[in-house]
Structure 1
């Protein structure tokens, strides 16, 4: 079982746009699920991995995704 508080790297891409953040596992998964279900027309690619480093900013308003 994955610790949902474990920090994860989330990348959101669309064409030349690439956004990288760190978030809890729960936040990252909730964002990915919402973008996949509600924004398919935008052709977003969302990846979640463990490549977390100090220079990654926290996911904006991350607490809304808990």
Structure 2
């Protein structure tokens, strides 16, 4: 999965954004498990961008709540 930009995140409606957030959290969880096992080599640089994507999506969800 690639990096999500704010422009892309803003196109999602609330339901789609929640679904995408769930998917990204699952991906992050799987990568963290691989990291603790010691089998995460090539994908070690994907952890930080996934965390940032989650933060962007959470920010957008909070913005939608305030509207």
Give yes or no for TM over 0.5: no
- Answer 1 or 2: higher relative contact order, Cα 8 Å, separation at least 6: 2
TM-score relative to the length of structure 2? 0.39
The structure with the larger Rg is 2
TM-score relative to the length of structure 1? 0.40
Please identify which structure carries the higher helix content.
2
Please identify which structure carries the higher strand content.
1
